[in-house]
Amino acid sequence: MIPSQSAKITALRIGAMNFDVSDTMLNSFRTNVQHIPANKFLLQDGEDGGKIIVVIDGWLSTSKTSLHGEVQLIDFVLTGDVADPTAADGKTAGLDVEAVTDALVCIIPLTIWHTMLAASPKLARANEHVQAAERARLSERMLRLGRGSAESRIAYALIELSLRLRPLGLLENVSFHLPLTQRHIGDFTGLTAVHVCRTLRRFVRNGVVETADHMDIRINDLKALSEIAGVEPARLAAEITPVPD
């Protein structure tokens, strides 16, 4: 999970597609690999942006912090995802980007990124899919932030994350591990950690999910959980998961 500082990579995933990084056009993927320790910020809101971050391994989060210090996670950024924190001015970052776990990333200046996209239609298409998936996720989550109950928000989060982990090979049948605290889930769903706890316990009590040590989740009754989340898992997967070309 924690490769050495300047790790050598040969193949790299963007969305559902794999790229051979020996291609000179994609050189930047090889020469800009960085290892980031857990809980470290890669970038903070208002700082100099103008670069994108491709995740090779690990979990990142994007977030915003209110003036009173409350945090809202905007998205989790997983293997094959591309975080673009750039605001409308094209220069500053409009988001915090933080490593949730130890992570391996490529950080690429926007100018170079644009060159790469222009040179590789396949990369451009993969990037399109990744962006579309992110937009779809944000919309789904905004719907629940604005209109959903605590149960619905958390149920949705569990389903979304399980669907995203599946193509990464991190979903075993109906079980998966979340490298998150209840506070993370609260910041993700707009709830307090206390209420996340209560709600998860209720799910467990009702037999909808099971939990083992530190966020090993097992969905026991996907039908019930989907009902609570207000979601059809198959349709959702198609909308938020990048597909191979």
Partner DNA sequence: CGCCGATTTGAGTTCAGTCAATTTTGGTGG
Partner DNA sequence: CCACCAAAATTGACTGAACTCAAATCGGCG
Binding residues for DNA (CB under 7 A): 149-151, 181-183, 190-195, 197-198, 200-201, 211, 213-215
Residue from 21, 60, 133, 158 in contact with a copy of itself (CB under 8 A):
133
168 forms part of the interface with a copy of itself (CB under 8 A): no
Q: Cα separation of 73 and 71, whole Å?
A: 6
Residue from 17, 43, 54, 84 in contact with a copy of itself (CB under 8 A):
84
Q: Which does 195 bind (CB under 5 to 8 A by kind): DNA, a copy of itself, none?
A: DNA
- Residues numbered 42 to 81 that lie near a copy of itself (CB under 8 A) are 46, 62, 64-68, 70-72, 74
Q: Which does 214 bind (CB under 5 to 8 A by kind): a copy of itself, DNA, none?
A: DNA
Map the chain to HEC letters: CCCCCCCCCCEEEECCEEEECCCHHHHHHHHCEEEECCCCEEECCCCECCEEEEEEECCEEEEEECCCCCEEEEEEECCCCEECCECCCCCEECCEEEECCCEEEEEEEHHHHHHHHHHCHHHHHHHHHHHHHHHHHHHHHHHHHHHCCHHHHHHHHHHHHHHHHHHHCCCECCEEECCCCHHHHHHHHCCCHHHHHHHHHHHHHCCCEEEECCCEEEECCHHHHHHHHCCCHHHHHHHHCCCCC
Q: Cα separation of 238 and 231, whole Å?
A: 12
**Residue 25 vs 197, nearer CB to DNA:** 197
Which amino acid, residue 16? A
**Residue 166 vs 195, nearer CB to DNA:** 195
Q: Which does 222 bind (CB under 5 to 8 A by kind): DNA, a copy of itself, none?
A: none
Q: Which does 24 bind (CB under 5 to 8 A by kind): DNA, a copy of itself, none?
A: none
Beta strand pairing call for 216-219 and 209-212: antiparallel
138 forms part of the interface with a copy of itself (CB under 8 A): yes
**Residue 117 vs 215, nearer CB to DNA:** 215
Q: Which does 215 bind (CB under 5 to 8 A by kind): a copy of itself, DNA, none?
A: DNA
**Residue 89 vs 213, nearer CB to a copy of itself:** 89
Name the site residues for a copy of itself (rule: CB under 8 A). 46, 62, 64-68, 70-72, 74, 84, 86-90, 92, 94-95, 118, 128-129, 132-133, 135-136, 138-143, 145-148, 187, 189-190, 230, 235, 238-243
